[in-house]
Amino acid sequence: EAGVAQSPRYKIIEKRQSVAFWCNPISGHATLYWYQQILGQGPKLLIQFQNNGVVDDSQLPKDRFSAERLKGVDSTLKIQPAKLEDSAVYLCASSYQTSSYNEQFFGPGTRLTVL
C-alpha cells in the first residue's frame, strides 16, 4: 500500500517569497492533516480536513497560510509571504476517518528553509 506522498522534499526561499507544498494521502483516507514541526518541537496541527471540508484550522496563521483540498483527495498548503520563523518541516498526515481512535499516517515531510 502506498504511503502519504509529499513534494517537494526540500525548499529554500527568501523571506517575503511564496511557497506551496503538495500532499497526496493514502487512498481511501477521508481525513488529512497539515502539521508544522519546528526543530526541537513536536508537530503542531495547522489544519485538518474531513473530505474536502475544514474541521479545524484554529492554529493556521490565516494572514499568510492557506490550504485547500479539492475533490477531497490531494491537498496544497501555501505560505505567502514567508517569514524567517516559517522555517520548519511541514508534515502531511492522513487517517481513515476523523475519529479519536484512528492512526495518523505521516508523509516524509517538506523541509522549508527561509533565508
- Based on the shown chain and the rule CB under 8 A, indicate whether residue 91 belongs to the binding site for other proteins: yes
Closest approach, Cβ 48 to other proteins, in A, equals: 7
Q: What is the spatial distance between Cα 87 and Cα 64, in angstroms, rounded to a whole number?
A: 14
Contacts to other proteins from residues 29-48, by CB under 8 A: 31, 33, 35, 40-45, 48
Please give the torsion angle defined by the CA atoms of residues 28, 29, 30 and 34, in that order, rounded to the nearest 10 degrees.
-150
Closest approach, Cβ 73 to other proteins, in A, equals: 19
Dihedrals φ, ψ of 86, to 5°? Answer: -85, -5
Please give the torsion angle defined by the CA atoms of residues 69, 75, 81 and 85, in that order, rounded to the nearest 10 degrees.
120
Cell of 112: 522549508
Closest approach, Cβ 106 to other proteins, in A, equals: 4
- The residue (of 56 and 74) whose beta carbon lies closer to other proteins is 56
- The residue (of 17 and 56) whose beta carbon lies closer to other proteins is 56
Interface pick for other proteins out of 8, 14, 99, 115 (rule CB under 8 A): 99
